[in-house]
Amino acid sequence: MSLTNNPDTLWYTRCPVPTASGIAIHHGWLDAEFAPDGIAIRSLRASADRAVRESHFDHRQPDSFRQGGNAPPIWARSDGQDTVVVGLVWLPQYQSILSLPDTGLRTAADLKGARLALPRRVNEKIDFWRASALQGYAQTLASVGLTLDDVTLVDLPIDEPYIRDVAQSDSGPLFDARQFARSVRAEAFALIRGEVDALYNYGASGPALQEFLGAQTVVDIAHHPDQRVAINNGTPNVLTVSGRLVREQPDLVARYLLQVLRAARWAHQHPTEAAPLVAQEVSVATEWVGAAFDDSLYEALFPSLAPPLVDALKVRKEFLLRHGFLRRDFSVDEWIDPHPLQRALEWLDTPASMKPY
């Protein structure tokens, strides 16, 4: 059954991290789901309009879905954008504080008095990487009774924007491999030059950067015994959608989520086949996937709204607010709508002939 008043196009974007959304896109399952309704599925990167691509951060593009790091959607909601959280994922990914061997830094307690790299994108609406580094440092220091006052934060201004004029793509992530490779250039150069003692890094490029620098892990944040220390931009990863779609087309949102759930199940059942797709999504060689993500990755891609994930999102929002990354406060509980995901889960094992659409 076709829905009335359908949008002509559903837009999507995702960060360069492992997501079930990316796997569903790769398999063409979203296109197949909505083709009978005459709805096109397009990546923000398919648009030549920079304002459309910038919706990856500000979520201004109508009828759009986004899955990825939580700082941009939190910022967009704080800025008044009409969005809804419909799923959360805890990504078991690389997250560390690194130093060169001759610094003598070996543990979190050794960071007292250290110079820590803190990049600052001077032209961005939400500087998610600066926020990530700051929270990584703050929570690590707090775990050993220290604060940011016990270290020197070395400001590293960066003019280059996050979103450059990349080639248009019908399905590619918004960030390509070249952009990904440049993401920690300022911090890496500062470390090599001896201008800082340590840097923060997370995500798929972390193991390769560590190997290139010959750096050592001062703190493995991802595997800290207190999981709260690891709360950051990708923990939890957030799936958001334009609010109008949730209110006026809830079944359409549930159908999108159904394909995301299907992709998560496929990855869990086919980890060997999923690894190259993850590598492509995060712009690294396949051999780095195991170093960047725990073995639990392929069972962790299922979106959920479990209370621990919601609580982690609240911690993240409060940190961004407290440190001046947000203009105004808002309720995380009111931002979440569990109904589309509940409906998608009900449909997951329902034969096609019995689905109510």
Q: At what angle do helices 339-347 and 250-269 cross, to 10 degrees?
A: 60
The sign of the torsion formed by the CA atoms of 45, 51, 54, 55 equals negative
Give the pair of three-digit tokens for residue 320. 């961004």
The rounded radius of gyration (Å) of the Cα atoms in the chain is 20
User: Is 38 within 8 Å of 287 (Cβ atoms)?
Assistant: no
Distance in angstroms (rounded) separating the CA atoms of residues 352 and 69: 33
* CA 224 – CA 143 distance, rounded (Å): 10
pTM: 0.93
The tens digit of pLDDT for each residue in 136-192 reads 999 999 999 999 999 999 999 999 876 665 555 565 566 666 676 677 899 999 999
Extract the tokens encoding 348: 């997951």
d(CA 321, CA 74): 10
Average pLDDT for runs of 10 along the chain of length 357: 72 94 96 96 86 87 96 97 98 97 96 98 91 98 98 95 60 63 87 98 92 96 96 97 97 97 98 95 91 94 98 98 96 98 94 71
Residue 2: other Cβ atoms inside 10 A:
9
**CA dist 244 → 120, 125, 216 (Å):** 34, 24, 47
Number of C-alpha atoms within 13 angstroms, CB side, residue 62?
Answer: 7
Whole-number Å distance between alpha carbons of 12 and 241: 9
pLDDT in tens, 309-319: 999 999 999 99
Contact 21, 65 (CB under 8 A): yes
**Contact call for residues 256 and 10 (beta carbons, < 8 A):** yes
Around Cβ 75, how many Cβ atoms within 10 Å?
23
Q: Who's near 152: CB < 8 A, 6+ residues apart? A: 113, 114, 115, 116
